[in-house]
Amino acid sequence: MILHMRSRSLTTGGALALACLCAGPALARQVTKETVPGITNLARLETTIACAGAVTPEAVPEIKKMGFVSIINLRLATEPGADVAREEAAAKAVGLRYFHVPFNGTADPDAAGRFLDVIMAEGSQPAFVHCAGGNRAATMWLIKRIAVDRWDVERAVSEATALGQTSPTLQRFAIDYAKSHPR
């Protein structure tokens, strides 16, 4: 009897340890940070989405090589270093779809709605979404996860934080917008 209980305990413990070992790498590979010349603060969620900061037009071919089919630029054309026209030309030159959805980093329901339209458009994913630092890009992805994918807030916020979402004000806007505009 004691031998049977010990064997059962070892089997249960072994199964639990194996589950933890398998789950660890799966969780760890969800969001990865990469260094790519010409791209600031790159955080990638497997091949579904990348949220990043500033991108130079010279880095666009690398985005294509990473497997993305579109670029969604959230930068205002007036931001220092934002060269929207050159970035769009570089994207089109390598066969990427290009969308410019200006988002100034304040509660902007129009920008959120346009972002959802673009990210949900057929053939736009996997998408490379960027702003100047990554916060606005991850905020828009947070909206998508709640409004479209129906993720619970805690899970969506956790992923957005890993992707670079840092502003409590934008986080609150994203949650409120997504809950009031489900798709």
Q: pLDDT, tens digit, for every residue of 151-162?
A: 999 999 999 999
Q: Quick one: pLDDT at residue 46?
A: 65
Contact predicate 128/68, CB 8 Å: yes
Spatial strand order in the sheet of 70-73: 31-36, 39-45, 49-52, 127-130, 70-73, 97-100
Q: Quick one: pLDDT at residue 47?
A: 59
Instruction: Count how many Cα atoms sit within 13 Å of the Cα of residue 32 in the half-sphere of its side chain.
Output: 10
Mean pLDDT of the chain: 84
Q: Quick one: pLDDT at residue 33?
A: 78
- Is 16's pLDDT higher than 50? no
Of 43-52, 81-90, 105-114, 142-151, give the lowest mean pLDDT range.
43-52
Q: Quick one: pLDDT at residue 157?
A: 97
Instruction: Provide the total of helices (H) and of strands (E) in the chain, helices listed first.
Output: 7, 6
150: left (phi over 0), alpha (psi -120 to 50) or beta: left
**pLDDT (tens digit, 9 = 90+) per residue, 20-77?**
333 333 333 477 777 777 887 777 766 578 888 888 999 999 999 999 999 999 999 9
Kindly report the CA angle at 102 between 68 and 65, in degrees rounded to 5? 15
Radius of gyration of the chain (CA): 20
> What global pTM score does this model have?
0.79
